[in-house]
Amino acid sequence: GAVVSQHPSWVICKSGTSVKIECRSLDFQATTMFWYRQFPKQSLMLMATSNEGSKATYEQGVEKDKFLINHASLTLSTLTVTSAHPEDSSFYICSARGDWGRENTGELFFGEGSRLTVL
């Protein structure tokens, strides 16, 4: 299957700083990527849909100015948590959709996740 990689896998930062998380599709082009947030012992909540070359679409209740998403190329989307606070500490997971037109119906492939801890 296709590979999606996130970096960093774990980051610790001070309150008030900004953190950037990268999501890369390593062996396929992904016009669409999704960013999820997962709190401990909870499910994944979709934060936003990222489309290459256009603005991201945010889910209701997600602050777009706080969670900046950039999808500048077909293999890279970034999530920047601006002015991070302890309540932003979470596990962030991206997924990329392969749009290569096969009968796989554009299956989603997930990254390994990035754990953010804000002190």
Partner 1 sequence: AQSVTQPDIHITVSEGASLELRCNYSYGATPYLFWYVQSPGQGLQLLLKYFSGDTLVQGIKGFEAEFKRSQSSFNLRKPSVHWSDAAEYFCAVGRIYGGATNKLIFGTGTLLAVQP
Rounded to whole angstroms, the Cα distance separating 20 from 8 reads 9
The answer to whether 2 contacts partner 1 (rule: CB under 8 A) is: no
4-23: contacts with partner 1 (CB under 8 A): 4, 6, 9
CB of 47 closer than 8 Å to CB of 53: no
CB of 74 closer than 8 Å to CB of 84: no
97-116: contacts with partner 1 (CB under 8 A): 97, 99, 101, 105-108, 110-113, 115
35-54: contacts with partner 1 (CB under 8 A): 42-46, 49
Q: How far is the CB of 27 from partner 1 (least distance, A)?
A: 16
